[in-house]
Each structure stands twice: as structure tokens, then as C-alpha cells.
Chains A and B, each alone.
Chain A
Amino acid sequence: MDFQVVVLAGGSSKNLTPLVSKELPKPLLPVANRPVLTYVLHQLEQSNLKDLIVVVEGEDAALVVGAWISGTFIDRLHVEIAAVPEDIGTAGAIREISHHLTTKDILVVSGDLVSDVPPGAVAATHRRHDAAVTATLCSIPVSGPLESGSSVGKDKAKKLGRYNIIGLDPGKQFLLHIATGAEIEKDARLPKRILRAVGQMEIRSDLMDAHMYAFKRSVLQEVLELKDAFQSLKEDVLPYLVRSQLKSEALSNRTPQGEENGNEKVTSLNNQVFVSRILANASIPSFHDRSSETPDGSAPTRKTHKCCAYIASSSSYCVRLNSIQAFMDINRDVTGEADHLLSGTDPNNNIGPSPKLGTKTTVGPHSMLGEGSEVGDKCQVKRSVIGRHCRIGSHVKVVNSVVMNHVTIGDGCIIQGSVVCSNVQLQDRVVLKDCQVGAGFVVTAGSEYKAESLARKEK
């Protein structure tokens, strides 16, 4: 279908410390015991997109991610890994690999997206309107009951980053305004030209940019080339394209019609004009066309491009893993209400020794135990995910938490609303509430922590 797919997997993420580390880059962060990248790749595989470019920040991370992909998706996907320097942003990453992009349109998906929005629908919307960019918008996910508590993940900066102010045309097809990140705090600035052309605009704050974009390759490359300073697709490129949609500078938009017939000598230019006029007259003019035509009806003088929006239906699930809170939410949802995302992601997961449960141990609903884990007597596991080969002693309570692989938990521990990373050792009678424990950390016996982030000191 002439689409290239770029998965921006990212690397280390500051928002997610101490969960991510050198050994465990963000794409491999387990969500319901599968690396988060699985969800994106699986979804792309489902929609028959088997030729992907995965962009990872940092070489070490790329190495790890590449090894994992080759192990998991061999014979299923054709994946190419590109390592880019850290901290160059999403736009920078695309700029790095821009010479590998050849197809007419590019689908850019964030690697931390856990959703069931069909990429095909985004691509189809993009194609139908012949847009320069199509952004996927979804309703803002409901943060769970945890958020009302004193969760650490919910600090201000993250909250702002997740919300957008989005302006749509009355038909809800075109993107007229988008404010992200820090811009939300400022006054919204709208080009008068757009307002005049559209006449009516709907401003919404209940939609979120899901970071799944379809770009016209020529436009994307041109913008990245012209604007060196652009760092982020979401915060720089997309708002720029939206802002300039009625006066696109040097964006080749109207050329394809000419190119198609250009090489034939038979077709005179005049006929092309006729054809394009017939076609144009037979479709509902969008505001782009209306604004670009001069009052006396001569040919459009100003170049325009379209910025479309694909609004995912409210029933679909769509969350980005970009904060610890989101991490908790996704773990909860994937094991709970959005469990259809899990189906078929990884058939191998069911093989292996099933977890052993001690006597009088209860595992509540929305919970998950990885293979080879052992749970002692009289334990309670509620709404939690426990990874592989964990050893949990007796009289342990795990509620609303995520425990990764190879964790040893001593007797009598109580873990609530926390994330315990791999290879952590919790000695007896540890009480954790809303904590994050980094990989390889050892919590001494009897200690109590509340809303803290524990991590091993870097040597």
C-alpha cells in the first residue's frame, strides 16, 4: 500500500526512572509480562504491516531491543533497527533515518503505544483526503482509582504533557489547531486565516494525540530539512504543519496531478486542467480549496495542505506508556478490561511451568502470574502482575502492583501500588506503599517505605 512504518521505540526515559535502566530500555519494559513494544509490533503485524523500521535511542539499547525482536519476531516480521543518538527527539530521529524513507507515505508510531486503534484506518483517512499529515486522536484514558491516592506518578509536568488542546473543523475531519506540552499554559494563538476559512471551529480538550501519525513523505522530509531546530514531531512538526496549512511554504502539494500525465506528450496541458477541474468540481470543496481560490474564480494561487485527524472511537483502547502512572494503568487495564490486547501477542508465554501456589493463597481477578513463579502459603494477590520466576514467601500481600521477573519477596511483606523491578530482593516484613524499586535493589528486612523511589546507586 506504499506505506513505510517507523516505530519510534525510544530508549531510556527520564519519566520512567527507576523502572528503566541500561539493561532494560523502555521498549522492553514489561507490561503484563510482555515488553511494551510487543503491543505495537503485534498490532502492526495484525494489520499486515510486516516491514518495519524500529528506531531506538542509544546503541546499547538498540542492541538489546534488536536481540529481543530477532528472538521474538523472527519469521514473522521484517524489522530493521536504527540506532540514533540519545536526546535528539522524535523529529531528530526521523531526520536521522530520513534517507531510508522512500515510499509515498510514512506511518510513524510511537513504540510505547498500547492501543487497538487500527493503523489501517489512520492510513486510509490519510489517503482519502490526500493529506500532508494525519494524526490519531483518542479520548483521554481514565486514570484508575489509584490516581485519587497519593501516587507519585502524578506530578504536574506529566499531566500537562498528556493533554492537548485540539481544534477541529465542524466535520471533525481536519485539524485546525493543536497545542501540546508547555504551550497549553500559554494563550492559544490561532491564525486568522484559518478561522476565516473554516468559519466554525470546535475546540476540544478531551482528546489526546496518540502519537500515531501518517505523514506524506515529501512534506515530512522537507519540513525536517528546512527547520533544523525542530526536535519533536508532536510539539514542533505537527503544530507547524497545522499552523501553516493554508500557506504552506514550498510544500509540494498540488504537483502529483501534473506528474501523472507529465511524461505523455499526447496529453496537452489544457486537457489536464480540464480533468482536474472536472474532478475538483465533483467533490465537496474543503475549506482549503475555498480559501485558496480567489474571488473571481481563477486557479488557486496559494498552496495548501491538509492536516487530517483520525478520531478513534470511544470504545477503543489507547494509552501511551510515558509515565509511571501510565505504566500502572496500562498494567491494570491490559490484565483487566482491555485484555483483548493480550490475545495472541505471545503464544509462547503459556508454555513453561505454571506458577505454583501455596495453600490458602488467593489470586484475585485482574491478576497475572508469570511462568515458574512460586507463591508461598496464605498470600493474597489482587489486581497485580507478577513476572516470571519470582519467589514470594508466605503471608505476603500484593495489591495493585507490578512485580517484574526474578524478584524474591520475603515472608510477611505488604506491597501496595508499587512497582518492583527485576532481580529485586525484598527481605522479610517489608512494607512498600506507592513505591518504585529499581532493578537489583535489596530492601532490608522490616523496612517501611511510602511513596519513594528506591534505586541502586550507580557505581
Chain B
Amino acid sequence: MDPRRSARTVSDPKVRQVGFFTPAAPPERSCSDPPRQLDPIQSLSPSSAQVNDHSPSVDSVSPVMIPPPPHNNSDTLFRTDLQVTSPKTAFSYSAKTVTLPTENEDVTSSLSPSRKVVTVKSSSSYPCVKASSVPASELTTVSVVNLPPGISEKAGGASVEVLNDRPVSSKSLKEKTSKAERRALQEAQRAAKAAAKAEGTKASSAASKVVTSANTKPSKAAKPSSQKNDGSQVAAFEKKVGDRAPEKDRKKDAPHPRMQYDDTSRVEKAKKRAVVKQTEVRNRVELFRHLPQYEHGTQLPDLETKFFELDPMHPAVYKVGLQYLSGDIWGGNARCIAMFQAFKEAIKDYSTPPEKTLIRDLTARISSYVSFLIECRPLSNSMGNAIKFLKNRIAKLPLVLSESEAKATLMSDVDRFINEKIIIAEKVIVKHAVTKIRDGDVLLTYGASSVVEMILLHAHELGKQFRVVVVDSRPKLEGQLLLRRLVRKGLSCTYTHVNAVSCIMQEVTRVFLGASSVLSNGTVYSRVGTACVAMVAHAFRVPVLVCCEAYKFHERVQLDSICFNELGNPEAISKVHGREDINYLDGFVNQEKLQLLNLVYDATPSDYISMIITDYGMIPPTSVPVIVREYRREHLWS
């Protein structure tokens, strides 16, 4: 390890020399409080906090709650009358039976008198429904699922179990005692002793908390026998404890984003958890074995058939996942926007299950969504940043906020992120970049970057005279779509494939490139082929301008495009769509000796990049760490 580390420090100075690094600076800045100014909700007097509990059982006694800093009391009044919302009750199926009078007059009214309610004896608990009792309804419930809503059942079960444990553990003392139980008992006794000692004013409740918490683990083994429970405070505390365990499990659920896929045992484990069926492709290129690659075409149908079975998945998230998987949406910005819009929908429809706190449960929910999306397609760095932002916003929600307020805050946060970090950022980039376009320029772009497209269109609108060379590559040929849109707007374009880039580069005066991510050593991580274009441009001494929003910046350092990458569908390069006559590889795809490699991204070293245009201005690639650091200071994450 050591020699390697020392080797790394050699490359480090490059990063360090630009940064104007003063170690005291970041904490200092973080103390000055932009977030508090942003949302006044956080600043609330503790008294209002007690008044405004939306679910009193959870919050009133929760020992975890930190009283918010005392502040001006002006808000309290306004707060209190917002707190009318009652906790949502668990929905029941019976609510569905419609008792509206029929209102479809357009359908021959002569028929309606003949319509009658069907009486059906529903068995078991349901008494016979008389026709006369429900005169106007058309629908008759004939079969009912008598299950209580699953979530509340689970949560309730947990708390009941815990509540029961005291009598149980004391009983188990007399009977046989396992090691764990004995230890639990010991601890309980010790705690009780401590409690007895501290028998002050508030000690009793604290003691019971300690006792129960100490006993939580062994109680799972013990069978709950009695139904008696006591002490609402104990219940309140226990809910917290009960909550934590499933959440941890869920966290484990998400496979680590950078899992090494050549580690078979881990892959097996991840596969067991996976929602999407993942069949590994057999022949993978040696160098890229650590990246996930699945048989294309098997995932989508399988996921589709599971459509209704993925209960916890929000439909909007599911739809986005499907679109990722099928390749209906691509591009960093679009994927990020789609994801955030889906999350927004999910937040809108979210309601905190009883006996849970919004902050934790929603975070867990979002994590499960994210792991589902990762299974559909690995996340890009930009999306990782966006998710970090959202989770951070959730974690920073003031506890006193009611559910609806919290949701509204989060939704506006999501909107704000899309607006500020993507849309406005793009506008700023366009404004900067346009200054670099002069009359008579020949601009080259590769692939289809949304920012570059906007730059070109804007420059055209400004009346600048220039030509565009769109360089494209198989298999996606996304450049054609860009070309289509540019030509329709009246730009004069040249279209060529990346193979010819060295020939066309002679007449080019500037290269505009998009990026999936910019890493802190200045490496640009982008669509495969970008490095090639940048290098050719460098050789021809053509300036390479990379346009990238700051939210796509990442603090990671990457030296090659092997460690982290994404493998596309190998069939996409072995087959030529629509050209049946040149499919020479038909039947060869499953050959043992043939390994197909369809890389999605590549890394362009910073040496080949003249300038990075971002929403903070135009910077040299060596200044990326500054942006990463500055950007973090905005309390988006960290």
C-alpha cells in the first residue's frame, strides 16, 4: 500500500497548486448559515415544537429529538395553525364501495330503472347485504380481502413484540435461560439498579427505556406470550428501536454502486437481492470483468412481467426504470431530470406509515428506489450527486415540520435543483460559450450533448456565421438526432463518423464537447469516443472546450476508463440495425473465443482539454477541484 500511496502523491501537486487551499476556510464557511436563511422553518422555538407534534406518540417523548435552537418567536403563531393535519389513517378496502347514485344520463335512461343491485351473500364475517340497503350503487362487493394494511401490521408487530419482552424475560429466568437471555437479564438488572439509584423526577421513564432497549435483541427469540403492555413512553421509544432494524436491512439491500463484478460470491449475493433478473453475459473482455454486464433483452421482459408485483415501487419510478432499461431515455441531464421528476411524484404520493418518522422512512424509500434504478442502469456521477442532494435535504428537514409541509419543501427543493443546477446552469454556460464563437468559425461536436446543442442554436439566433461539424459514432448514432434538429433550425452542418475525425479536423477552429462528468483531476468522463476526438483536436492545435454543468463535477480522481465504466449491449455493435446483408457475426456471438466490448464511456485526460465551461465560468481543467470544493460549500451535500 505504501509505495502506491507515495506514487499517488506525485500526481497530487497538480491538484493542489490550483486550489488556494486554506484548511480553515471550509468550516468557517459552513458556520455561516445559508440554509437557515433559506428555510425559516428550521428556526423554531422549542415550545412550538412541543405544540406542533403531528403524531404525538412518536415525537413527544422521542429522546432522539434535539430541541431546535431558540429563535425569534414570531413564527410560532404561524406554525401552530398549520398543524391541523391529522395523521393519515391506514386505508381500508371498504372505502372503495361506491354508493354514488348513478349519474350517467347519457346512457339511455330507460335502462337505469332496470338496473339493480346484485345481492350476494358474502361469507364469513360479512353479513348478508340486502338489495334495499344499497339502493343506487351499481357495484357490489362480493369478495373482500380482510387483511390489515401490511405496513401498519409490520410496524405494530414490532412494537408489540418489544412491549411484551419484559414479562417474557422475567419468566425465562425461572425456566431455562440461554446465554443471550441471561446476559440481557443481567443488563436489565444493572439498568434497573442504575435507574433505582437515579430515582429522581424523570428517572423512571428513562429506566424503562434502558431496560427495554437492552432486551430488544433477545426478545426476538423469546415467544411473546402476554398481550399486556404498559407505559406509553416505552412504546414511543420502542418504535424507534423497532424502526431501525428494517431500515438497516434496506440499506444493505442496495448493492454497492461500485461493486466488483468479477467477485463471484458478491455477485451471487447481489443477484439474490435484485429486482431485475440479471443474467450475466458469459464472454466478457478480460480487462472489464469487474463491470456488470447482463444479457440484453432478458431483463426487460422479466421486469415487465413483474409490473404489479413490485408493490413498494412507485409507478413513476418504475416507469423511469423501464425507460432506462430499454434505452428510451439517455443523456445525463435527461436521466437526472426524469429521475427527479419521478422522485417528486413519489414524494407527492408519500405518506409516512404509522409509527415511523418521515425523515428516516423517506430516506429508506428513496434508497430502495435508487437501488432499483441502479439495477436498471448504473447511475451516472451526476445522478449520484443529485441523489446526495435530495437525501441531504431530507435529512436536514426540521423535525417539527408536518408531513405535508415537509413534502412541499422537498418537492420545491427538487424543482429548485432542476431549475438551478440544470436549466439555469445551462443558460449560463450558453452565455459563456457563445462568446467563444466568432464569425467564420467551424465548430466540431461529438455525439449529442444538450448543452452544446443549446450553444449552437443560441449562437445561430444571435446571427453568428459559423458551420458545424457533427461527429457521430455507432451504435447509438445519436448525432443524427442532433443533426436533424440543427438542420431544421437552419444551421449549416457537416456530418461524419468518428473514423474520419482526423481528416475533418484540419478545417475545424473549435471543438465543443459535452460531458457526463468532470472529475477532480480534470479528467472528462464522457461518451466513448470523446477522448479520441479531443486528442485529435489537441494534435491539430484546435482548442477543446468542454461544456459541463457544475452538478456533474465529482471529487473522484480517475486516470483511466477501465476502473469505472459501463458496458453496453454487445449485440449493438455486433449487429448492424437494418442491414441484414452485412451481419457477418450471426451465430458467432456465443462463441467461446469471441468477446465483444461495447464501452459506453471513456475518460479524456485533462492535457487534451483547453477549457471547461461551467456555470461558474470558464476554467482550466486544473481548477476543477476548486469548483468541487466551492460547490460543496453551498450545502448541497457534505
Mark A residues whose CB is within 8 Å of B: 1-3, 47-51, 53-54, 59, 62-63, 66-67, 69-71, 73-85, 88, 92, 95-100, 104, 118-121, 123-125, 127-128, 130, 225, 228, 260-261, 264, 266-267, 271, 274-275, 278-279, 281-285, 295-297, 313
Known: A74-B123, A121-B307. A99 touches B104 (CB 8 A): yes
Is the C-beta of B194 less than 8 angstroms from some C-beta in chain A?
Answer: no
A100 touches B322 (CB 8 A): no
Contact of B329 among A97, A279, A285 (CB under 8 A): A279
Contact of A282 among B100, B106, B326, B329 (CB under 8 A): B329
**What bracket does the count of chain B residues touching chain A fall in?**
35 or more
Contacts of A63 in B (CB 8 A): 118-120
Contacts of A124 in B (CB 8 A): 303-305, 307, 318, 322
User: In the complex, which residue of chain A has the Cβ closest to the Cβ of B94?
Assistant: A78
Contacts of A264 in B (CB 8 A): 411-412, 415
Contact of A283 among B303, B330, B422, B426 (CB under 8 A): B330
B307 touches A285 (CB 8 A): no
**How far, in whole Å, are A137 and B481 apart by their CA atoms in the complex?**
31
Interface on chain A toward B: helix, strand, loop, or mixed SS? mixed
- Measured CB to CB, the closest approach of chain B to A168, in angstroms, equals 16
A59 touches B308 (CB 8 A): no
CB-CB contacts below 8 Å: B319-339 with A: 319, 322-323, 326-331, 333-335, 337-338
Contacts of A62 in B (CB 8 A): 118, 140
B416 touches A266 (CB 8 A): yes
- Measured CB to CB, the closest approach of chain A to B205, in angstroms, equals 42
Contact of B145 among A50, A228, A275 (CB under 8 A): A50
Contacts of B138 in A (CB 8 A): 82-83, 96-97, 100
Contacts of A100 in B (CB 8 A): 98, 138-139
Is the C-beta of B111 less than 8 angstroms from some C-beta in chain A?
Answer: yes
Contacts of B305 in A (CB 8 A): 47, 118, 120-121, 124
B140 touches A66 (CB 8 A): yes
Is the C-beta of B183 less than 8 angstroms from some C-beta in chain A?
Answer: no
**How far, in whole Å, are A67 and B128 apart by their CA atoms in the complex?**
11
B139 touches A81 (CB 8 A): yes
Contacts of A281 in B (CB 8 A): 331, 334, 448, 450, 453, 481, 485
Is the C-beta of B114 less than 8 angstroms from some C-beta in chain A?
Answer: yes
Is the C-beta of B213 less than 8 angstroms from some C-beta in chain A?
Answer: no
Is the C-beta of B121 less than 8 angstroms from some C-beta in chain A?
Answer: yes
Nearest 7 CB-CB pairs, A to B? A282-B334, A120-B307, A124-B304, A66-B120, A297-B488, A282-B331, A118-B305
B140 touches A76 (CB 8 A): no
Contacts of B146 in A (CB 8 A): 75
- Measured CB to CB, the closest approach of chain A to B437, in angstroms, equals 20
Contacts of A267 in B (CB 8 A): 415, 419
Contact of A48 among B311, B333, B489 (CB under 8 A): B311
B144 touches A74 (CB 8 A): yes
User: In the complex, which residue of chain A has the Cβ closest to the Cβ of B310?
Assistant: A1
**How far, in whole Å, are A1 and B481 apart by their CA atoms in the complex?**
33
Is the C-beta of B315 less than 8 angstroms from some C-beta in chain A?
Answer: yes
- Measured CB to CB, the closest approach of chain B to A352, in angstroms, equals 19
Contacts of A81 in B (CB 8 A): 118, 120, 139-142
CB-CB contacts below 8 Å: B15-68 with A: none
Is the C-beta of B638 less than 8 angstroms from some C-beta in chain A?
Answer: no
Is the C-beta of B152 less than 8 angstroms from some C-beta in chain A?
Answer: no
- Measured CB to CB, the closest approach of chain A to B206, in angstroms, equals 45
B450 touches A47 (CB 8 A): no
Contacts of B333 in A (CB 8 A): 278, 282
Contacts of A119 in B (CB 8 A): 307-308
Contacts of A80 in B (CB 8 A): 96-97, 139-142
**How far, in whole Å, are A152 and B166 apart by their CA atoms in the complex?**
75
**How far, in whole Å, are A71 and B124 apart by their CA atoms in the complex?**
10
- Measured CB to CB, the closest approach of chain A to B584, in angstroms, equals 22
B450 touches A127 (CB 8 A): no
B123 touches A71 (CB 8 A): yes
User: In the complex, which residue of chain B has the Cβ closest to the Cβ of A270?
Assistant: B423
**How far, in whole Å, are A393 and B592 apart by their CA atoms in the complex?**
63
Is the C-beta of B170 less than 8 angstroms from some C-beta in chain A?
Answer: no
Is the C-beta of B418 less than 8 angstroms from some C-beta in chain A?
Answer: yes
B145 touches A82 (CB 8 A): no
Is the C-beta of B258 less than 8 angstroms from some C-beta in chain A?
Answer: no
- Measured CB to CB, the closest approach of chain A to B94, in angstroms, equals 9
A121 touches B301 (CB 8 A): yes
Known: A1-B318, A81-B118, A267-B415. A123 touches B142 (CB 8 A): no
**How far, in whole Å, are A283 and B328 apart by their CA atoms in the complex?**
5
CB-CB contacts below 8 Å: B279-317 with A: 301, 303-309, 311, 315
A295 touches B308 (CB 8 A): no
- Measured CB to CB, the closest approach of chain B to A14, in angstroms, equals 20
**How far, in whole Å, are A282 and B418 apart by their CA atoms in the complex?**
16
A297 touches B120 (CB 8 A): no
**How far, in whole Å, are A47 and B307 apart by their CA atoms in the complex?**
8
B145 touches A76 (CB 8 A): yes
Contacts of A130 in B (CB 8 A): 319
- Measured CB to CB, the closest approach of chain B to A385, in angstroms, equals 26
Contact with A along B101-133 (1 / 0, CB 8 A): 011101100010011101111111000000000
B485 touches A127 (CB 8 A): no
B415 touches A261 (CB 8 A): yes
**How far, in whole Å, are A78 and B126 apart by their CA atoms in the complex?**
13
**How far, in whole Å, are A76 and B488 apart by their CA atoms in the complex?**
57
- Measured CB to CB, the closest approach of chain B to A2, in angstroms, equals 5
Contacts of A228 in B (CB 8 A): 106
**How far, in whole Å, are A67 and B341 apart by their CA atoms in the complex?**
45
**How far, in whole Å, are A130 and B141 apart by their CA atoms in the complex?**
31
Is the C-beta of B93 less than 8 angstroms from some C-beta in chain A?
Answer: yes
- Measured CB to CB, the closest approach of chain B to A116, in angstroms, equals 10
What are 26 A-B contacts with C-beta separation under 8 Å?
Answer: A3-B308, A47-B307, A47-B309, A70-B121, A70-B142, A70-B143, A73-B143, A74-B122, A79-B142, A80-B139, A80-B140, A81-B142, A82-B139, A83-B115, A118-B307, A120-B307, A121-B304, A130-B319, A264-B412, A266-B412, A267-B415, A271-B418, A275-B337, A275-B341, A279-B337, A282-B450
Contacts of B331 in A (CB 8 A): 278, 281-282
B123 touches A275 (CB 8 A): no
User: In the complex, which residue of chain A has the Cβ closest to the Cβ of B418?
Assistant: A275
Contact with A along B74-94 (1 / 0, CB 8 A): 000000000000000000010
Contacts of B453 in A (CB 8 A): 281
Contacts of A283 in B (CB 8 A): 323, 328-330, 334
- Measured CB to CB, the closest approach of chain B to A61, in angstroms, equals 9
